[in-house]
Amino acid sequence: MIEILKETSHFIEMRNKFFTQTIGFVPTMGNLHEGHLSLIRKSLSENDVTVVSIFVNPKQFGEGEDFDQYPRTLDDDIKKIRKLDEKKILIFAPQNPSEIFPEGFSTQIQVQRRKILCDKFRPGHFDGVTTVVYQLFKIVRPFTAYFGQKDFQQFSYIKQMVDDLQLSVELSLCPTIREDSGIALSSRNQYLKTGTDKAKSLELFKTLSHIEQLILSNQDYTSYRNEKMAQKEWQYLEVLNAKTLQEDDGQSNSLVILGAMYVGETRLIDNILVSKGSVC
């Protein structure tokens, strides 16, 4: 059974019918690929009802970013979800931003952190993310919400918000789904038009994997990292404590290697989690 709801009031009416059942929630901006579908499958396997939201959130796009061009493919997305229709799925697809941010909306949820990684280069982006996720949690009232490791920094901000505001929702971090080549699936991959772009985009995952190998064999990665960062394509390439996103002080067993690079005009991000020895 699939229900498609485009208005918040209709969605809430439907959601209320399932008050005794477990609700899993997968927030997306649509243009669904296997990465999104893997989150939906996980939710289907763990809950009575799964809610998938499809909403291109204007608040998380900065000036000059691709809000207008962002691929909107609702009919295709619905077809893809229909193929998974094992249990109850509610698709919440607000067509008008005022469904989520009513006229005059002037509240912002801001996690205050050191401005690093994407937060340094996309000011205000995570404020847009946490604000929309907060609104969606309030409307959907999920038991568990599913997010991809692909956007690890985003997950870390959402987790901080949930912990700080003591929201009653479980968060589930799900593995990054990749092409056979290693490239992480992303709606932005379709901006990579030429074979050369595709080939260049392989460098991101290859570089992260190489640093992973250096870490696992206890070798220094700093000169390799600095060499990469000297190339203009690289925006950042960092190895951080996965729990705190603070600098790697050599003491943590749980690290995350994160990178962002440009292929032509397209900005790609990726990350790898590394456990050294026993995870604390």
Active site residues: 36
For 179, the 3-state DSSP assignment is coil
How many other C-beta atoms are found inside a 10 Å radius of the C-beta of residue 21?
A: 11
- Residue 186 Cβ vs ligand AMP, minimum distance, rounded to whole Å: 5
Q: How many residues does the chain have?
A: 280
- Of residues 60 and 252, the one with the C-beta less far from ligand AMP: 60
Q: Are 100 and 94 in contact (CB under 8 A)?
A: yes
What minimum distance in Å lies between the beta carbon of 278 and ligand AMP? 26
Nearer to ligand AMP, 61 or 234 (CB): 61
CB of 79 to ligand AMP, least distance (A): 17
Task: Give whichever of 8 and 154 is closer to ligand AMP, judged by the CB atom.
Answer: 154
Contacts of 107 (CB under 8 A, 6+ apart): 131
**b/e map 207-223, b = 16+ CB within 10 Å:** bbeebbebbeeeeebee
> Which positions touch ligand AMP (CB under 6 A)?
28-29, 35-36, 38-39, 147-148, 150-151, 174, 176-177, 184-187
Residue nearest to ligand AMP (CB): 148
Q: Please state the separation of Cα 31 from the chain's center in Å.
A: 13
Task: Find all residues with CB under 8 Å of 111, minimum gap 6, and list them.
Answer: 126, 130, 157, 160, 161, 164
For the bound state, the minimum distance from the C-beta of residue 61 to ligand AMP, rounded and expressed in Å, comes to 11
Q: Which is nearer to ligand AMP, 156 or 225 (CB)?
A: 156
Q: Which of 43, 9, 2, 45 lies closest to 26, judged by CA?
A: 43
